[in-house]
Each structure stands twice: as structure tokens, then as C-alpha cells.
Amino acid sequence: MGDALRRITRALGIGLLGSLASAAIACGGSGTATSTPTPSVTATPTSTVAAGPPLATATAVATPQTYVIAAGDTLFDIAATFGVSVEQLTEANGIEDPTLLQIGQVLVIPPATGP
């Protein structure tokens, strides 16, 4: 009876169910399958996505910082605080004479260029 069941399940394409039924028979079961086999479905892609131009990447733009001069400040101290050179500070702010700084004057601090 086991061979006949295997031939029928192979003919129906139910190999796994047949293996389970054979195992049930071998373990003393009745050999009657009670579940309905579920057909397998294979998905086939029906459309493709065309590659487009590369996306633009965001570039970080440094927002200029400002500093308000307080009593006792020097360009050297301000430059050291922000990691820039005195030359960068004077150039960014159009300062021709560093001795003419005024309390309350707003300085633009350029981005630091390195250590």
C-alpha cells in the first residue's frame, strides 16, 4: 500500500504530502490524508525600474559665527578661542588697524581651517 500511495502522490505532485502520509503509515496511521494540498505560487516580476541620474548629495555649508567684542578682548585671544588666525579674523572683518577695535563691535568668525 505504501508504494501505491507514493505513486499517486508523485503523480499529483504532492511529494511532501506523500512523504508525510508515508511517515504516518509507518507510524501506524491510517494513510488517509486529511488536508488539501496548497499549490505553490512563484512570483514573477512584471516591471523593472530604470536607473536614473545619481541623486545630489547635501554639502555642509558653514554658517558664519559672530562674536561681540567685550572689554579686554584682543584679536589674538578671539582668534585662539575660535581656532582661527589673527590674519583670518582681520581679513574676514576688513580690519586694517587692530588697535581700533570697539566694545560691542560684532566680528564675523571665519570657519576654522585646522589644528
Give a yes or no: residue 22 inside a domain.
Answer: yes
**Residue 53 resides in a domain:** no
16 in any annotated domain = yes
Confidence (pTM): 0.45
Regions in the chain scoring below 50 on pLDDT: 15-24
Q: Evaluate whether residue 42 is within a structural domain.
A: no
Specify if 11 maps to a domain: yes
Q: What's the confidence (pLDDT) of residue 98?
A: 87
Burial class (CB in 10 A: 0-12, 13-18, 19+), 1: exposed
pLDDT of residue 45: 58
Q: How many domains does the chain have?
A: 2
Give tens-digit pLDDT for 51-79: 666 666 666 666 779 999 999 999 999 99
13 lies in which domain range? 1-36
| Short-list 47, 94, 55, 60, CA closest to 75 | 94
- Please indicate, yes or no, if residue 48 is contained in any of the structural domains: no
Q: Is residue 93 part of a domain?
A: yes
Residue 89 is predicted with a pLDDT of: 94
**Can you give the pLDDT at residue 55?**
66
The C-alpha atoms of residue 79 and residue 86 are separated, in whole angstroms, by: 6
| Structural domain includes residue 23 | yes
CA torsion 81-84-85-91 (nearest 10°) is -120
Q: What is the CATH number of the domain that holds 71?
A: 3.10.350.10
